[in-house]
Amino acid sequence: MQALKRRAFVGLGSNLGDRLAYLKVGLTYLPDVVAVSRVYETEPVGGPPGQDRYLNMVAELWSNASARQLLEAGRRAEAASGRARDVHWGPRTLDVDVLLVGDLTVDQPDLKVPHPRMCERGFVLVPLADLAPELVGDRLTAAMRAGISLAGTI
């Protein structure tokens, strides 16, 4: 029996090298992309000081892939982009996070859906609002928008 298709959202970010190219690579690994947000330049959140600014975006999928399959696709994209996991919240060529997969809830050591910090991060909510403003609602504050600027489109 085939799994039902669900609306899913995946966040992508990069702050090393050709950031826009890495975002494009990340999209090629995601199944069933139906829309992408605009690309935003954002201040780093957490991690070591002195990091470069990020490019962030969100992809919308209409897919029967499980949350685990989406995580694995994201990890393949990160590996193809030369992602190193040396420093927690450190600089990276590509970061891919599963944000939402329909109404599923997943609570596993390496995968939590909905993403547990999604609603605290302007760099997620601003691009998510491009695609699904009904999911963002009034969660996006002026303080969260600070330091976020439109960088373009893919």
Residue 67 sits at φ, ψ, to 5 deg, of: -60, -40
The count of C-alpha atoms lying within 13 angstroms of the C-alpha of 34, restricted to the half-sphere facing its C-beta, is: 11
Q: Which two tokens stand for residue 49?
A: 């000081």
Secondary structure of 84-112 in the HEC alphabet? Answer: CCCCCCCCCCCEEEEEEECCCCEEECCEE
d(CA 67, CA 102): 10
For the annotated catalytic residues, the residue numbers are 83, 92, 95, 97
